[in-house]
Structure 1
């Protein structure tokens, strides 16, 4: 119960609830949708510019040298989890609208989230340096891998994975990140000193992307298409996916022969999915009338991963101390 309360009061969850609630009450439709979409695109550009400024180049280069940890992590995140997402997507078609079922495939192809993976690794007494670098590398890779992987595994019929979207991803995600890396020598300390305030940039940009996506879903009747039985099916499958992600990452780290601290880093970097990449990327890949449906499993997964990570990290912390 305490985990549920703490998850609900997490700032990111509150922002997501506000964004979805606003989309239900006052969705952006017609000409307003175009204006909000433009604002969202600009915000995404700024977010990835800042990401380029705050992920240290030295950490990126260091990560490539520790291939015995990061190569299996990448295979787990973009290989095993993607295939699990495909399986859950097929299973979900029995009780969910097709676009929401497809959302499990999209969820499976997404990279790790940096902030919560690092935070819970710290609480659990794991290898924080590995967690930070691992999640950062997986996030960077996800910008290039998620869209084509999703299209290859069966999402291409809904998502725009052609040349135009590749150009949009390059202009709105890759280009600002490269610029941020280029100017990092002048901006890194300034960004680091304002880390607590800049984290709100992440939340606001994600909120705008979620608002645009759910505005389209509301206009298309997501409330009508998703019955109480369908909602229960969505929650049940998301919980099952989360359990597979956590148990699988923990067992995989054991099979690799990693030390406890490294196993903890692998667990959270391998099971925590990034709404910070997922929501903005969905705004580029899917038309507004589809995006809200597709990211529904992601938003629910994000809430549930915070709920389960709190008690798991506390339990692991006691193991790390013994």
Structure 2
């Protein structure tokens, strides 16, 4: 079945982790990959800014109740569930894994997959574009603040809190803003070469993952992460996603949103961004901890794609079935009107 198929990006991530496991960057290659990773992160966020269309944001920005709930789900509900999971601590798999779960919970939503699933299921695409884009932009500010607020871990960036925030802004926000400013000149080129931009995104993420896991392998990650831990990460990711989907679905119906908005809430309020999370972790956390901290995020990324793909297909089938039932009725009404 299609739901159990790994997406191509996940296959590339697995290959990258295996490469870092057997051929980690060592010695003189370490500073080279650090420089390359920093450049890749800047390019990644520049491209995110260049892809962001102001017209699409304005088109979907008026639906404030929907956007407010999606932001609540992304930056309040998810972190609260993450804190609950850390407090519950049901399986003894080490503090770094629970730190990873908490970290994924404070990240912004994805842009591409949230919009794609909303479109497939027949949701409010304009609102999805607005919410997902706003989440990605706000996440540059909010996620680092939440890291400092709810996570007890020392930053990879030396210095005080203001210096750390300055480093984050320089590496993430400045390229993003520059890309968005340049959108009026390069927007057409970006739209025309979407597949090339997608490959740039993926290459940037894979470089960061290779660099992070090289450091983690040198520090003995696979002595701390076994099969039991990986199974728990999978089950924990599934539990977290199901809880968020159930709460979002209940809230959408409780607050009287229509079907199209319900779909948008479901898909935009349940996603976490691998594209933002991996580069941000590389800046926020010590190099020795990044590999194990992003492991739950990489597993959750695959779980959310599989589960949301199934849900989107179910919505689509319901919509197609309803349209098929209405067709004969419309035909009958047309014949009656001609008599």
> Normalised by the size of structure 2, how large is the TM-score?
0.89
CA contact (8 A) 2:111 2:132 kept: yes
1:90 Cα offset (Å): 3.1
Structure 2 gaps of 5+ residues are 323-339
Q: Distance in 2 between matches of 1:19 and 1:76?
A: 31
Runs of 4+ with >6 A deviation: none
CA distance in 2, matches of 1:92, 1:289: 23
- Aligned match of 1:19: 16
Residue 199 of structure 1 is matched in structure 2 by 198
- Who wins on radius of gyration, i.e. which is larger? 2
**Residue 4 of structure 1: aligned partner:** 4
Contact 1:63 1:137 in 2 (8 A): no
Counterpart mapping for 1:4-153 below 5 A:
4-5=4-5, 8=6, 10-92=7-89, 94-153=91-150
Contact 1:63 1:70 survives alignment (8 Å): no
Distance 1:287 1:84 in 2: 25
Which residue of structure 2 lines up, in the alignment, with residue 312 of structure 1? Answer: 311
Q: Check whether the contact 1:124–1:313 (CA below 8 A) recurs between aligned residues.
A: yes
Note the 1:205-284 alignment, pairs <5 A.
Answer: 205-284=204-283
> Could you tell me the TM-score, scaled by structure 1's length?
0.94
CA contact (8 A) 2:208 2:282 kept: yes
Other structure's SS at 1:110 match: coil
CA distance in 2 between partners of 1:305 and 1:259 (Å) = 23
The farther-off stretch of 245-254 and 273-282 is 245-254
CA distance in 1 between partners of 2:17 and 2:91 (Å): 26
What residue in structure 1 maps to residue 176 of structure 2?
177
Count of equivalent residues: 319
The offset of 1:158, in angstroms, is 5.7
Q: 1:30–1:254: structure 2 CA closer, same or farther, 3 Å change rule?
A: farther
Q: CA deviation at 1:17?
A: 1.4
C-alpha distance in structure 2 between counterparts of 1:38 and 1:248, whole Å: 42
Q: Distance in 2 between matches of 1:153 and 1:33?
A: 31
Structure 1's unaligned 5+ residue stretches are: none
Closer/same/farther in 2, CA of residues 157 and 215 from structure 1, 3 Å limit: same
Residue by residue over 1:266-294, the C-alpha shift from the partner in whole angstroms, topping out at 9 and shown as x without a partner, is 11111111000000001101121100111
Q: How many Å separate the matches in 2 of 1:129 and 1:320?
A: 19
For residue 296 of structure 1, what is the aligned residue in structure 2? Answer: 295
CA contact (8 A) 1:90 1:101 kept: no
Distance of 1:85 and 1:52 partners within structure 2: 29
